[in-house]
């Protein structure tokens, strides 16, 4: 994982080296704050979404291909919640879009059921 991080950082640095020079060019200091902010966010917006996506993939509750989810977890009430499965017995995946300042990010996670509270939930929703 550390190697992936270093490679991703290197790619981003190479990609944005010229843009960073533009951000710090003498002329930009004569721009209004709003114009400067739009220039900076516009130049890096896509990569910020990619970084957020990467973090979500590395999150312990996110879905990682080839890894089996926990069969049970502890609900916020303190009791055991079980993994929700579809008709074929496969873990059910829940997707939701989160709007961030830089754009939408899709979160994929497994759902769990707490029989004590009679509720469906996902670990990320519970922790937020």
Q: Dump pLDDT digits (tens) for 90-103.
A: 888 888 787 777 67
Residue 121 has pLDDT above 70, yes or no: yes
Distances (CA, A) of 114 to 3, 94, 125, 128: 38, 16, 14, 18
pLDDT tens digits for range 7-50: 877 887 887 787 777 777 877 778 887 887 777 777 676 677 67
**Parallel/antiparallel/unpaired status of strands 103-110 and 72-74:** unpaired
pLDDT tens digits for range 62-84: 565 666 788 888 888 889 999 99
Looking at 1-128, list the stretches that DSSP marks H as alpha helix, in order from N- to C-terminal side: 2-23, 33-58, 123-127
Q: Take residue 18 and report the two structure tokens written for it.
A: 């010229």
Q: Are the CB atoms for 91 and 97 separated by under 8 Å?
A: no
Structural domain spans, the chain: 1-60, 65-128
Structure confidence at residue 61 (pLDDT):
53
């Amino acid at each position: 994982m550390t190697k992936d991080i270093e490679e991703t950082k290197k790619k981003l640095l190479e990609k944005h080296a010229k843009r960073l020079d533009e951000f710090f060019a003498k002329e930009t200091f004569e721009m209004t704050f709003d114009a400067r902010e739009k220039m900076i966010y516009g130049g890096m917006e896509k990569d910020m979404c990619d970084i957020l996506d990467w973090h979500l993939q590395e999150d312990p509750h996110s879905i990682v291909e080839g890894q089996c989810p926990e069969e049970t977890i502890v609900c916020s009430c303190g009791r055991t919640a079980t993994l929700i499965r579809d008709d074929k017995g496969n873990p059910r995946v829940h997707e939701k879009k989160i709007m961030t300042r830089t754009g939408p990010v899709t979160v994929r996670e497994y759902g769990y059921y707490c029989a004590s509270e009679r509720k469906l939930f996902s670990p990320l929703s519970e922790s937020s």
